C-alpha cells in the first residue's frame, strides 16, 4: 500500500490498482505529495489522487515493459492533481475563460423535489424544450415554470422520451432502491477482459521514447471522460486521432482543454467514402476508445466483437454514463446528471438546495481509470497477445466514491497555488493556458507534444511510424 508524506495510507490507490489487476508489489513505487485540495463531504481528493496514481503507475509499468529495465518511480503531486481535475474550468485562450454550462443546464425545483438538466448542445436544448411543450426561444423563466408544475420523475421520463437529458435528484437511500443502482451493485470498478486470442504478443521496443510511442489510437469520444483518457494516451506518445460526426456540434472551449496532443477530424460513418476512410484507419489502429451511448456505434460494425474480428490484437476501451446493464443502459448521461441521480448532489447540498462536487470528478476520474485500463491491457499484450476490452462507467465510479472509497488525507489548501500547475503556449486559436499533466513518472513527459487545433479540421490519416 502506498503512503503520503503524512504517513497515511492511500487506500484509494490500492483499491483502484487492484481493480486494474495490477501487481500489488508495484504500489511501493508510488509516493504522494500534498499541496492541493478538492474540498467536499465525499472523498473526492482521494478519488482524484488515486485515479491519477494508478494511471501513472500503469504508464510506468508499460514504459518498463516496452523499453526494458525496472518500473520507474511515480510521484503524485496533489497540486497537479487538483489543477488537472479543474482543467476544464481553468483553460484560457488569450485570457478568455470557457463557457462550461448553458443557461438551461442546471438544477430546477420541481413540484416534489429537484431536477437536473443538461442542455449544452443545441439539439439537447431543443429536445428539452419540446418535452416541456415550450417554444424554441423559451428561456430560464419559462422552463422554471413548466418544470415547477410537474413531478421530478415525470420530467425525467418525458425529457428522456424526447431524446433530451434530465434526471430527478435522489438521495443516496432513494438511489439504492432504484433498479439501475441494483444493476450497478457488485460490479467491478473497471471491467477488463480478453476478446479473443487472435493477435500476436507485442514486441518490446528499447527505442521507444515513451510508453505509447508508435501506437495509434482512434478516439470516438465526446465531453469529458473519454477525451481525458485519450488526452492522457497522447501525452504518453500515442498518435491520437479524434473522429466526430459532421452532423454533431462540439464545443471548441472543451476541445481547447482535452484536445492537447491530439488531432481531430470529422467523418460520416453512414457515407460510403468516409466509411472506407475509417476502415483504412482502423486497419492500422492499436487502440479504439468509444464514449457514445451504448449501442449507438454497433450499427456501424463497431461493437467489440466486430472490431476484434476486423483488427485482431486491438485494445478496445468503452465508456458510458450509466453502464451497459440495467434499465438505463441505453440512456445518455453526463457527470452532472450522474451526480444528481446517485445521491451525490443530495450529500453535497443542504436542505434548501442541491450541491455539486468541486470538480467534474466522475468524468476526470473515470477518464484516468479508462486510460490506466488501456495501458495495462497493452502491457498484458506483451506477454500474451490477443484482443482486449476495457469498460468503465460514471455510475461505477460514483458507486466507488459514495460507498467503497476510504477518505484519505485532506491535503493542504493553504499550500495550493494553481499558477504553479498551469502553463502557456501558442496555439492556432491564440495564447493557450492549460493545466500541466498530472500523470507522470520518473523520466516521463512533462507536457504534450503539441497544442490543440481547431476542432474537426485535421486530415483523417495517421502520422507516426508503426509500433
Question: In 10 A of CB 244, how many CB atoms?
Answer: 20
Grade residue 207 by pLDDT with cuts at 50, 70 and 90: low
83, 36 contact by CB (below 8 A): yes
Q: What is the pLDDT of residue 8?
A: 37
Cell 460520416 belongs to 268
For the stretch 103-147, pLDDT in tens is 999 999 999 999 999 999 999 999 999 999 999 999 999 999 999
Can you tell me the distance from the alpha carbon of 260 to that of 361, in angstroms, rounded to the nearest whole number? 20
For the stretch 138-162, pLDDT in tens is 999 999 999 999 999 999 999 999 9
Q: What percent of the chain has pLDDT over 70?
A: 97
Q: What is the pLDDT of residue 199?
A: 82
| Helix, strand, coil percentages for the chain (3-state, nearest 5) | 40, 15, 45
CA distance from start to end of the chain = 34
Across 312-324, average pLDDT: 96
SS3 call for 135: coil
For the stretch 3-19, pLDDT in tens is 444 333 368 999 999 99
Q: Tell me which of 373 and 1 has the higher pLDDT.
A: 373
Q: What is the pLDDT of residue 436?
A: 98
State the pTM of this model.
0.96
Can you tell me the distance from the alpha carbon of 235 to that of 212, in angstroms, rounded to the nearest whole number? 9
Across 434-457, average pLDDT: 97
Q: What is the pLDDT of residue 4?
A: 43
Q: What is the pLDDT of residue 6?
A: 38
Q: Is the pLDDT score of 323 beyond 70? A: yes
Q: Is the pLDDT score of 406 beyond 90? A: no
For the stretch 325-352, pLDDT in tens is 999 998 999 999 999 999 999 999 998 8
Q: What is the pLDDT of residue 399?
A: 97
Grade residue 27 by pLDDT with cuts at 50, 70 and 90: very high
CA-wise closest residue to 280 among 42, 46, 460, 20: 460
Q: What is the pLDDT of residue 377?
A: 97
> Among 94-103, 239-248, 337-346, 357-366, where is mean pLDDT lowest?
94-103
Q: What is the pLDDT of residue 325?
A: 94
- All three cell numbers of 2: 502506498
Can you tell me the distance from the alpha carbon of 335 to that of 326, in angstroms, rounded to the nearest whole number? 18
> Among 144-153, 296-305, 416-425, where is mean pLDDT lowest?
296-305
Across 244-271, average pLDDT: 96
For 148, half-sphere exposure in the C-beta direction (CA atoms, 13 angstrom radius) is 7
- All three cell numbers of 176: 439504492
Q: What is the pLDDT of residue 117?
A: 98
86, 416 contact by CB (below 8 A): no
Across 265-269, average pLDDT: 97
- For the chain, what is the mean pLDDT? 93
What size, in residues, is the chain? Answer: 467
Amino acid at each position: 500500500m502506498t503512503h503520503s508524506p503524512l504517513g497515511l495510507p492511500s487506500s484509494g490507490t490500492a483499491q483502484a490498482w487492484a481493480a486494474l489487476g495490477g501487481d500489488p508489489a508495484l504500489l511501493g513505487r508510488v509516493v504522494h505529495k500534498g499541496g492541493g485540495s478538492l474540498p467536499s463531504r465525499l472523498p473526492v481528493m482521494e478519488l482524484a489522487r488515486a485515479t491519477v496514481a494508478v494511471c501513472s503507475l500503469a504508464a510506468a509499468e508499460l514504459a518498463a515493459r516496452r523499453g526494458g529495465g525496472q518500473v520507474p518511480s511515480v510521484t503524485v503531486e496533489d497540486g497537479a492533481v487538483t489543477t488537472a481535475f479543474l482543467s476544464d474550468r481553468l483553460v484560457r485562450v488569450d485570457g478568455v475563460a470557457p463557457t462550461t454550462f448553458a443557461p438551461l443546464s442546471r438544477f430546477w425545483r420541481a413540484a416534489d423535489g429537484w431536477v437536473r438538466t443538461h442542455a449544452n448542445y443545441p439539439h439537447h436544448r431543443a429536445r428539452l424544450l419540446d418535452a416541456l411543450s415550450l417554444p424554441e426561444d423559451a428561456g430560464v423563466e419559462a422552463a422554471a415554470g413548466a418544470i415547477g408544475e410537474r413531478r421530478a420523475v415525470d420530467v425525467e421520463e418525458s425529457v428522456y422520451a424526447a431524446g433530451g437529458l434530465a434526471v430527478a435528484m435522489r438521495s443516496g437511500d432513494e438511489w439504492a432502491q432504484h433498479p439501475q443502482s441494483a444493476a450497478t451493485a457488485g460490479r467491478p470498478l473497471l471491467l477488463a477482459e480478453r476478446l479473443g486470442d487472435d493477435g500476436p504478443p507485442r514486441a518490446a521496443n528499447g527505442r521507444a521514447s515513451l510508453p505509447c510511442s508508435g501506437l495509434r489510437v482512434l478516439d470516438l469520444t465526446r465531453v469529458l471522460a473519454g477525451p481525458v483518457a485519450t488526452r492522457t494516451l497522447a501525452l504518453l506518445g500515442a498518435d491520437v486521432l479524434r473522429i466526430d460526426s459532421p452532423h454533431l456540434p462540439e464545443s471548441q472551449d472543451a476541445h481547447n482543454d482535452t484536445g492537447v496532443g491530439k488531432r481531430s477530424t470529422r467523418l460520416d460513418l453512414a457515407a460510403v467514402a468516409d466509411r472506407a476512410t475509417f476502415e483504412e484507419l482502423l486497419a492500422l489502429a492499436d487502440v479504439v476508445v468509444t464514449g457514445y451511448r451504448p449501442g449507438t456505434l454497433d450499427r456501424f460494425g463497431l461493437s467489440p466483437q466486430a472490431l476484434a474480428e476486423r483488427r485482431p490484437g486491438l485494445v478496445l476501451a468503452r465508456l458510458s454514463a450509466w453502464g451497459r446493464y440495467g434499465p438505463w443502459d441505453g440512456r445518455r448521461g453526463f457527470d452532472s446528471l450522474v451526480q444528481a441521480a446517485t445521491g451525490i448532489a443530495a450529500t453535497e447540498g443542504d436542505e434548501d438546495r442541491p450541491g455539486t462536487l468541486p470538480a467534474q470528478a466522475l468524468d476526470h476520474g473515470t477518464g484516468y481509470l479508462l486510460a490506466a485500463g488501456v495501458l495495462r491491457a497493452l502491457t498484458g499484450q506483451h506477454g500474451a497477445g490477443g484482443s482486449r476490452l476495457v469498460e468503465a462507467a460514471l455510475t461505477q465510479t460514483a458507486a466507488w466514491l459514495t460507498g467503497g472509497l476510504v477518505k484519505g488525507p485532506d491535503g493542504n489548501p493553504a499550500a495550493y497555488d494553481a499558477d504553479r500547475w498551469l502553463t502557456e503556449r501558442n496555439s492556432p486559436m491564440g495564447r493557450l493556458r492549460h493545466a500541466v499533466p498530472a500523470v507522470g513518472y520518473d523520466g516521463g513527459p512533462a507536457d504534450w507534444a503539441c497544442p490543440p487545433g481547431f476542432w474537426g479540421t485535421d486530415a483523417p490519416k495517421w502520422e507516426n511510424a508503426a509500433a
